[in-house]
Chain A
Amino acid sequence: AQSVTQLGSHVSVSEGALVLLRCNYSSSVPPYLFWYVQYPNQGLQLLLKYTSAATLVKGINGFEAEFKKSETSFHLTKPSAHMSDAAEYFCAVSDNAGNMLTFGGGTRLMVKP
């Protein structure tokens, strides 16, 4: 069975500071990994995904994530936080057949002025 753990249900950073959101996964097969963002009262929007091509994946809005097999991690980073980045972020792993996503518990990012 696959699982995802997001360390830190709440992360607070100052505007302009580095954003680091942690994600560790468990999968018996090479994983497909995703980061989604959810703004208040909205659906989920894909930030980026890892599909076994490059280990460093660039996404929208200046976010990127690095797949590290040895650490079973897929942490999300952004060099400089913006107020508009405040949202809930979800890491997820897909089964090979695309039948379902298994989500982590989410991390709420707060950005202080």
Chain B
Amino acid sequence: DTAVSQTPKYLVTQMGNDKSIKCEQNLGHDTMYWYKQDSKKFLKIMFSYNNKELIINETVPNRFSPKSPDKAHLNLHINSLELGDSAVYFCASSQNGWGYNEQFFGPGTRLTVL
């Protein structure tokens, strides 16, 4: 049973399109995250949600809109895709409220914008 799953694994699309990435965790965790890994492998937090409430939004363009329909899901919708959005996007989850809790990562979604 996969703990944190993401779909799709690969996404190739044209500039200007709108796309979504879905994330689900079956660990019963309260907190979920989106991270972006660029071509140099640098990882940066984009959003974090706790109990469906947005906690962190790290100066991400408002073309990116996370949506958490319930605690187990955190989807990422991207409008008007740009070349610079090409990256690997990771979803993660952890138990609520404490920095010592491990984050569990999904397998990633490789987004390529042409």
Contacts and interface: CB of A to CB of B under 8 A. Distances in A.
B49 to A, nearest CB: 10
A102 B102 contact: no
B99 interface: yes
Interface stretch (B11-19, B72-80, B105-113): B105-113
B42 A97 contact: no
Contact of A43 (B40, B41, B106): B106
Contact of B98 (A98, A103, A105, A106): A98
Contact of B41 (A95, A98, A105): A105
Given A43-B108, A106-B42, A100 B90 contact: no
A96 B105 contact: no
Interface residues of A, number: 28
Given A97-B97, A99-B55, A106 B102 contact: no
Contacts of B108: 41-43
A52 B48 CA distance: 24
Contact of B45 (A96, A102, A106): A102
Contact of B105 (A43, A88, A95): A43
Given A42-B107, A45-B105, A94-B99, A99 B42 contact: no
Contact of A105 (B31, B42, B107): B42
Given A46-B103, A97-B98, A99-B56, 15 more contacts: A36-B105, A44-B105, A96-B99, A98-B94, A98-B95, A98-B99, A99-B31, A99-B48, A99-B50, A100-B45, A100-B58, A101-B33, A101-B45, A103-B42, A105-B41
Interface of B: 4, 31, 33, 35, 40-45, 48, 50, 55-56, 58, 90, 92, 94-108
